[in-house]
Amino acid sequence: MRMRSSVIIFFILLSTGTGRAVAQERNIWQANDSARIAEMFGSADVVTRERMNKGLVMNPITALGGQSAGVNVQSGGADRMAMLSSVRVRGTTSLTGGNDPLVIIDGVSADLATLNTIYPADIESFTILKNAAETAKYGSRGASGVILVTTRKGRGGQFQISYDGNVGLESAYKFLPMLSGKEYTSTARLMGLSFNDGGCDTDFQRAITRVGTVQSHHVAFSGGSDKQNYRASLGYMNHYTVIKTNRNENFSAKLDLLQLAFDDKLHIDMGVFGSTQKNFNVPNVQQLCYSAATHNPTFPKGRNAQGKWDLNTTASQIASPMALLLQDNDERSLNFNTHLRLTADVTSGLRFGVFGAYSFNSTELAQFLPTWVAAQGQAYRSEHKSEGWLMNAELDYSHTWSVHSLKVHLLGEYQRNRQTGFWTQVRGFTVNDFGYHNLGAGSLRPYGGTGSRYEVPSLASVMANVSYCLMERYTATITTRADGSSMIGRQNRWGVFPSASLEWDIKREIFMHNLRWLSMLKLRSGYGMSGNLGGIGSYNSLRLVGPSGIVPLSGSPTVTMGIVHNANPDLKWETKSTFNIGADMGFVNNRVVLTAEYYYSKTRDMLYLYDVPVPPYTYDKLLANLGSMSNSGFELGMGFTPVQKQDVELNVNVNLSWQRNKLLSLSGEYNGRRMSAPSIKSIGSLNGAGFHGGNNNVVYQIVGQPLGVFYLPHCTGLKRNPDGSYSYEIEDLDKNGEINLEDGGDRRIAGQATPKMTLGSNISFRFKQFDISMQINGAFGHKIYNGTSLSYMNMASFPDYNVMKEAPKQNIKDQTATDYWLESGDYVNFDYVTVGWNVRVKSRFINSLRFSLSINNLATITAYSGLTPIVNSYIVGSTLGIDDKRSFPVYRSYLLSASIQF
C-alpha cells in the first residue's frame, strides 16, 4: 500500500496517548517491586505487565516494542523467525563499543540473549533507564542504557495454579513479483537469448515456504503466607516458521522463595532459573532469498532424474534454493542462574543487605554445508561457555524529620566472569550422510579453522547515592560510582562516574491547590556520566602472544608464535555525559497525561581502530580512545482516557521520539603522535552478481554527519543506449567533465538510514467482559536503499538470473549504485490486534478464565516499493538501511490464547 509522507504525518497528528510510566499510575503501582524501582530511579520508564505487547510475543524483548519512547526494538524478517531482537536505547553511542543496553534480571547482570530465554509470562515489569543520572548507578556498563527486569514472585495467600497457552498459524502473503516459468521462456525467446529450459514452472519463493505453526504453554504454582511464599513455573514454546526447516524451541523453569525470619527482621530471597533453547536456522539468509527469487523458474522443485540439483552454471552467486534448505545451522544454548539475597533491618531506618549470584551459559553451534552447496562439503562445531560470579553488599539509611527526608544508599560490588570456548572446521567430505556429527569424515583441516579462547575479566565497584527531599516538593539526588576493570590499562584502571538530578513537584505548591483540574505537574532535570566497556576485550591493553603461522622444522610442520596485536596500556573506557530536562503533567485525575523530555549526550574517548606506521608499531592497527559522538532528542508522550466507567473504558496512548546523531571527530593526539581516520568511510555495501570494486558502497560514516548516511552518485533519470536498453544517467556534480564514482568524487549525501522520528501507539477498548487492543508502530524521516530492485531490475543479468516482471518492459541494463533506488522508508505498521473475552465463572476452583484471538503484522502503510520497509534501520553494520536480497516473504500470524487461574 502506498502513501505520501504528508498522509503519514496527518495520521500521527490524529493520535494521542503516552507510554511513560506516569501516564497510567493506577497500573504501574500494582507491583511493589516496580514501585520501589520507580522511586529509586525517578524518571525511569516502568513497563508493567498491563502495558506489555499482546498478540504473538515470541520473547520478552518483543513485548517492549513501541511501549517506551526512545527504545527501538528491531525484530523483523529473519530476526523475528530466529527469535532475535536488537535493542537500542536512544540510538547508537559508539562505533566499536557495545551499543546493546545492560540487562539486569532480578539483580543479576545478563544480556539480551539470556533475557530472551525467559518466558514472557514470568516477567512482572521492565524498568528502562535512559538518562545518565539513572544509568550512572551502573558506571562503566550503563552508557547504552539499562533494562531492569523484575520477574514474578510468590505472594501471600492461598495456593494458586495458573496456565497460559496459545496455538497459532503463520502464513506468507507477500512475495517479490518475479517472472514465472512461462514469462521467463517467452522473454528469453523474444530477446533472442539462449537459456536452459527445464520444462517446469516453479515459484521457488513459495516453494521454500510453508504454513508455520506456533505453540506455547506456561504453568505456574504459587502459595504461602505473608511470612513465607513461593512461586514455581514451567514454560515451553515450539515455533515452526514459514520457511521450511526453520524451527525454534525453548524450555524454561523458574523457582522463587521468600522467607521472613527473626521477627520479620531478616528477609531471605532466593531464586533459581534455567532454560534451554534450540534454533534451527538457515546459515545464509541472503543466499537463500537471492536464490529463491532468481533461480531459473523452469527448473524442477526437486532433484532431477540423476538425483542432483539443476544449476545454472553461469549463475555463480546462487544455488538451488531447495538444496540450500538442506544445510544445517543449529544452535543450542543452556542458561542457569541462581541468586540469594539477605536483607536485615538493623534499626529503624537502617537496612543492610548482601547479595550473591552465580550464572552459567553454554552455547553450541553446529553447521554443515553439503557437497552440492559447498565444494568438498564443510562442517563447523563450536562451544562457548561463560560462568559469572556476582557479590555485593549494600547499606540503606532513611530518615524523615519535620519537612525533611534523607535517603542514603551505599554499595560495594565485585563481579568476575570466566569465558571459554573452542571451535573447529573441517572440509573434504565424500558423503553427506554424517552431517556435522562425524568430523572425522572430513579430510581437510584449514589453518585457522581450529582454535580456543580463555578470558577471566573482573570488575570491582563502589557507589554512594544520596537523595534529599524538602517538603515533599523539592528533591535532589547525587550519585557517584567508581569502577575498576581488569580489561583497562593500568594507568586508567579506575573510572569515576558521577551524576546529579533535581525534581520539583509543582502540584504540591500551595498556589497550585485550587487548580483541581491539574492532578500532576513535575519538572525534572539531571546531568551525569556513564561508561562503555563493550568495545574492549580482556587483552586489548596487553601485549598478546599467539599462533602466527606454520613453518617446516626438521621435516615437520611447526606452529610459530608471535605478537598478534599492538598493546595499548593507555586504553580506557568510553565515557558518555548526558543532560536531560523534562516535565510530567496530568489532568482530570490523570485521565489526560502529557510527558516531555529533551536530552543531549556526548560520547568522549570513543574507541576506534586507527592506522599506525610499521615500525615503530608491530602491526598497522591500534585501538585507541580519540573520537567523539553526540546524540540528542526529544521524547513526547500523551495519554487520553475519554471513557472510564465500570462496564466501558477507552484508552489511547502514543509515544513520539525524535533522535539525532552526529559523528563529531575521529582524530587526536596519542603519545605525541597525531592519529586520524578517514573522514569518509563505507560501512554498508551491495553484493551479488555484477557488483565489483568499491562502486557498490552505499552507506557511510562521515565526520560531521549522522552515523549511517547514504553517500551516492545522483541519477537524473534513465538514458537510452544504442541497443535500445536503458542505463542510469549520472550527474557530474563537480562539473569537471568526468564522472568519478569513487569516494570524494561525484557523490553526495542523499539521506540517512536511521529514522528521525519513531512512533508507538496503543489503543484499547473494553466493554463489560470483552476487550480489544491494537498496537501501531512507525518510523519516519529515513531512507532505504532498494538494492533488491537494483539487482532484479537489471536485464543484463538475464537469463542467468531471473528478474522482476517489470524488468523486460523497462529494459534497464545497468547495475550502478546511484540514488535512483533510494526510497523513503516511512511506514506505519499495525503490529497486532487482539480481541479478548474474560469469561464470567462461578466456580469454587476457577478464579478467572480468559480467551483471546490475535492477528500479528496486520498491515503496513508505506510508500516503499520493496517487500517491507521494516529492515535494519537502527543497528550500525553492513546491513544498515539496505534492502539487498535478504528479505523473507512477508507473513502474518494468527493466534488463539487461553489463560486460566485456579
CATH of the domain at 58: 2.170.130.10
The lowest-confidence range among 3-17, 329-343, 774-788 is: 3-17
Mean pLDDT within 502-509: 94
Residue 125 in any domain: the answer is yes
C-alpha 244/C-alpha 891 separation (Å) is 13
The lowest-confidence range among 17-26, 349-358, 527-536, 732-741 is: 17-26
CB 225 within 8 A of CB 156: yes
How many Cα atoms within 13 Å fall on the side-chain side of residue 837? 9
Mean pLDDT within 739-760: 92
Question: 24-33, 62-71, 767-776: which has the highest mean pLDDT?
Answer: 767-776
The lowest-confidence range among 25-29, 167-171, 275-279, 837-841 is: 25-29
Per-residue pLDDT, 351: 96
Asked if the model's pLDDT at residue 148 lies above 60, the reply is yes
CB 361 within 8 A of CB 335: yes
Interstrand relation of 518-532 and 574-587 (parallel, antiparallel or unpaired):
antiparallel
C-alpha 144/C-alpha 122 separation (Å) is 25
Q: Is the peptide bond before 297 cis (omega within 30 degrees of 0)?
A: no
Residue 738 in any domain: the answer is no
Q: Which domain holds residue 92?
A: 37-151
Chain segment 800-837, per-residue pLDDT in tens:
999 999 999 999 999 999 999 999 999 999 999 999 99
Q: What is the pTM of this model?
A: 0.89
* Residue that wins the pLDDT comparison between 765 and 34: 765
**Alpha helices (H) along 675-804:** 787-792
The distance between the two most distant Cα atoms of the chain, rounded to a whole number of Å, is 96
Mean pLDDT within 368-379: 89
Asked if the model's pLDDT at residue 475 lies above 50, the reply is yes
Residue 78 in any domain: the answer is yes
Banded pLDDT at 49 (limits 50, 70, 90) = confident
Torsion of CA 738, 701, 671, 561, to 10 degrees: -100
Banded pLDDT at 12 (limits 50, 70, 90) = very low
Averaged pLDDT score across all residues of the chain? 87
Residue 464 in any domain: the answer is no
Asked if the model's pLDDT at residue 855 lies above 50, the reply is yes
Residue 713 DSSP class: P
Q: Total structural domains in the chain? A: 1
Per-residue pLDDT, 692: 58
What is the share, in percent, of the chain residues with pLDDT greater than 90? 61
CB 743 within 8 A of CB 774: no
Alpha-carbon torsion 442, 445, 448, 452, what sign? positive
Q: Is the peptide bond before 799 cis (omega within 30 degrees of 0)?
A: yes
Residues 6+ apart with CB under 8 A from 288: 208, 243, 282, 321, 324, 325
Nearest to 689 by CA among 540, 841, 799, 840: 799
Cα separations in angstroms, 243 against 321, 738, 887: 11, 47, 12
Per-residue pLDDT, 693: 53
Residue 476 in any domain: the answer is no
Residues 6+ apart with CB under 8 A from 693: none
Per-residue pLDDT, 84: 47
C-alpha 534/C-alpha 99 separation (Å) is 7
In one-letter notation, the amino acid at residue 661 is N
Residue 92 in any domain: the answer is yes
Asked if the model's pLDDT at residue 416 lies above 50, the reply is yes
Chain segment 215-269, per-residue pLDDT in tens:
999 999 999 888 899 999 999 999 999 999 999 999 999 999 999 999 999 999 9
Asked if the model's pLDDT at residue 409 lies above 60, the reply is yes
Residue 139 in any domain: the answer is yes
Residue 876 C-alpha cell reads as 550500525
Residue 56 in any domain: the answer is yes
Mean pLDDT within 418-427: 95
How many Cα atoms within 13 Å fall on the side-chain side of residue 551? 6
Asked if the model's pLDDT at residue 499 lies above 90, the reply is yes
SS3 (DSSP) at 842: coil
- Size of the chain in residues: 902
How many Cα atoms within 13 Å fall on the side-chain side of residue 7? 10
Per-residue pLDDT, 713: 95
Per-residue pLDDT, 694: 56
In one-letter notation, the amino acid at residue 158 is Q
Asked if the model's pLDDT at residue 615 lies above 90, the reply is no
What is the share, in percent, of the chain residues with pLDDT greater than 70? 93
Chain segment 687-731, per-residue pLDDT in tens:
887 775 557 899 999 999 999 999 999 999 999 999 999 999 999
Per-residue pLDDT, 76: 53
Per-residue pLDDT, 19: 35
* Residue that wins the pLDDT comparison between 153 and 587: 587
Nearest to 412 by CA among 344, 364, 484: 484
Per-residue pLDDT, 55: 67
Per-residue pLDDT, 544: 83
Beta strand residue intervals within 376-517, DSSP E: 378-401, 404-427, 451-455, 458-470, 474-485, 494-505
Q: Which helix (H) or strand (E) holds 888?
A: none
Q: Which helix (H) or strand (E) holds 160?
A: strand 157-174
Residues 6+ apart with CB under 8 A from 404: 468, 469, 470
In one-letter notation, the amino acid at residue 697 is N
Mean pLDDT within 456-476: 94
